[in-house]
Amino acid sequence: MARDRKELERLAIELASLSSEERAQVLTDAALRGGDQALVEAAAKLAEDSFRRVWDNPDDAAYDAL
């Protein structure tokens, strides 16, 4: 049991050291492999800011107007 806790703590530290984009990718990959819908939704929520930075820009705004 203590070993499991240490492993979870180590994983939490590793996840915390990743960028939000990397965390979202790790969580999405894990969720897709495990079929965990709640985890998929959480990963998608984490990725929203990254997607917003990519999609909300002046070059793409011209396409939005079409």
Residue 11 maps to a domain: no
22, 15 contact by CB (below 8 A): no
Residue 60 maps to a domain: yes
- Per-residue pLDDT at 14: 85
- Per-residue pLDDT at 36: 72
Q: What is the pTM of this model?
A: 0.43
pLDDT tens per residue across all 66 residues of the chain: 667 778 878 878 888 888 888 888 887 787 778 777 777 777 778 778 877 777 777 777 777 677
Residue 52 maps to a domain: yes
- Per-residue pLDDT at 30: 79
- Per-residue pLDDT at 48: 82
Residue 12 maps to a domain: no
- φ and ψ at 65, to 5 degrees? -75, -15
